[in-house]
Amino acid sequence: MRVLVVTVVHVPLDARIHHRQVRALRQADVEVSLAAPFTATGTDPGAALAGVHTIDLPRATGRQRLVALRAARTLITRLAPAHDLVLLHDPELVLAVAGRLRRLPPVVLDVHEDLVAALVDDRPWVPGPLRPGARWLARRLEAWSERHLAGLLLAETAYRSRFAGAHPVVPNLPWLPADPPPCGQQPRVVYVGRISVGRGAHELIALGAALRDTPIPVSGMGGTAGAANGGGTAGGAGGETGGETLHLEIVGRPDADVRDAVVAAHDAGALTWHGELPNDRAMQVVAGSVAGLSLLHDRANYRASMPTKVVEYLAQGVPVVTTPLPEAARIVTAAGGGLVVPFADVEAALAALRDLAGDPELRARAGAAGREHVRAHASWDAQAPRFVAHLASVAGIAPGGLR
């Protein structure tokens, strides 16, 4: 099977696109061409998985989207016929195949988010007066896609209510890392993901400043790997701190309206901003941390979604501090993998971090429980073969044709 994967919005090494889906396809010996904005994002094509054929595209950002869309349309028209299936990862790419489907192999759209809800208050580059029209267009694109494309993949079960037919849910779950270090080995608290107002940018900056100005010591650092995996604890609640105090580190791309504030906070020593990193490198920052943060606001686009970062933190054996969005609170509570704090409450987040930093037993217990929950219920390891088999069926390839 040969699959052409296309995005003009996401970074080429995006967690869902590259580290999960493309990796699953390559493990099944599927030939993959990945067309994505390598140059525009400063991504080395050589960093893609072995055997992946990379193709550079412009990036669609803010209101600058037409050039990327035209380039994608030209590329798909030229290259798609040499493939068995085209997998699109941006809703606007539907416009790149409209009117040409009869000359293309089956086209599948991966629905990453609730775009209509996102256009309410999570796309600051869309002027307010134009948002009703943009939401109308988004609905039309989704309806057209359902009628004309070979299939849709949904990142969340809740997205099913937006469509008339039944479409497979391909949840945004992480691979389970083989042997992560114990949580609390590093005196840091981490945030990974897009940095925006709705995702708690201002709370993160305030939290970083508070940690700098009123240090929180980390008790019991230097525990054993067995503690993080349920084989003991990282030390007593009154263990030695070694003089280490919590520091905030964030990974991701800031929206334009918060970028200056993030840079200023980094320069002032309130936090360390690593920029936009491939998922595997971002997880290296998460591994061994005291806690992972998910301080998203109560917005329509987030209410039915599971923040991927939450499951990634849990998979690494790192406790989570999250706001009470339904899906995030559900998994953290069910797993016993962290603490839930109110929306936009920096003091509550600080209190949660004090609890985790000051109590190695609590930290180790939460880390081990969260990782076990992901292993049993929420890893990509179990989902990957189903994802590949579904694409093969859409492409008309028998399961025996795949490894």
**pLDDT tens-digit map of 104-114:** 999 999 998 87
Task: Look at residue 237 and tell me whether its pLDDT is greater than 70.
Answer: no
pLDDT of amino acid 93: 95
Element at 322 (helix H, strand E)? strand 320-322
Q: When comparing pLDDT for 149 and 143, which is higher?
A: 149
pLDDT of amino acid 238: 37
pLDDT mean over 62-90? 95
pLDDT mean over 148-156? 95
Give the closest residue to 167 by CA, choosing from 149, 154, 148.
154
Task: Look at residue 376 and tell me whether its pLDDT is greater than 50.
Answer: yes
Q: When comparing pLDDT for 180 and 242, which is higher?
A: 180
Task: Look at residue 129 and tell me whether its pLDDT is greater than 90.
Answer: no
Band of pLDDT at residue 125, cut at 50, 70 and 90: low
pLDDT of amino acid 235: 32
Band of pLDDT at residue 282, cut at 50, 70 and 90: very high
pLDDT mean over 21-45? 97
**Structural domain boundaries of the chain?**
2-173+381-401, 188-377
pLDDT mean over 344-360? 98
pLDDT of amino acid 252: 96
Strands (E), 143-280: 151-154, 188-192, 247-251, 272-273
The pairs formed by 80-83 with CB atoms below 8 angstroms and a separation of 24 or more are 80/4, 80/104, 80/105, 80/107, 81/105, 82/2, 83/2, 83/3, 83/4, 83/33
Give the closest residue to 293 by CA, choosing from 304, 279, 307.
307
Radius of gyration of the chain (CA): 21
Mean per-residue pLDDT of the chain: 90
Task: Look at residue 261 and tell me whether its pLDDT is greater than 50.
Answer: yes
Record the tokens describing residue 199, joined without a space: 């995702």
DSSP string, 71-120: HHHHHHHHHGGGSSEEEE-SGGGHHHHTT-GGGSS-EEEEE-S-HHHHHH
pLDDT of amino acid 119: 58
Band of pLDDT at residue 141, cut at 50, 70 and 90: confident
Q: Which CATH architecture has domain 2-173+381-401?
A: 3-Layer(aba) Sandwich (3.40)
Task: Look at residue 236 and tell me whether its pLDDT is greater than 50.
Answer: no
Reduced to 3 states (helix: H, G, I; strand: E, B; else coil), residue 64 is: strand
Give the closest residue to 246 by CA, choosing from 190, 200, 202, 204.
190
Band of pLDDT at residue 168, cut at 50, 70 and 90: very high
pLDDT of amino acid 198: 95
pLDDT of amino acid 231: 34
Read off φ and ψ for residue 69, nearest 5 degrees: -65, -45
pLDDT of amino acid 232: 32
pLDDT of amino acid 234: 31
pLDDT of amino acid 87: 98
Band of pLDDT at residue 300, cut at 50, 70 and 90: confident
Q: Domain spanning 188-377: which CATH class is it, in words? A: alpha beta
Record the tokens describing residue 200, joined without a space: 């708690």
pLDDT mean over 253-267? 96
d(CA 325, CA 49): 34
pLDDT mean over 353-364? 97
Task: Look at residue 358 and tell me whether its pLDDT is greater than 90.
Answer: yes
Strands 85-88 and 2-6: parallel
Task: Decide if 2-173+381-401 and 188-377 have a common fold.
Answer: yes
Q: When comparing pLDDT for 238 and 264, which is higher?
A: 264
Task: Look at residue 233 and tell me whether its pLDDT is greater than 70.
Answer: no
**What share of the chain in percent tops pLDDT 90?**
78
Task: Look at residue 92 and tell me whether its pLDDT is greater than 50.
Answer: yes
pLDDT mean over 164-169? 94
Band of pLDDT at residue 115, cut at 50, 70 and 90: low
Task: Look at residue 219 and tell me whether its pLDDT is greater than 60.
Answer: yes
pLDDT of amino acid 201: 98
Band of pLDDT at residue 190, cut at 50, 70 and 90: very high
Element at 265 (helix H, strand E)? helix 256-267
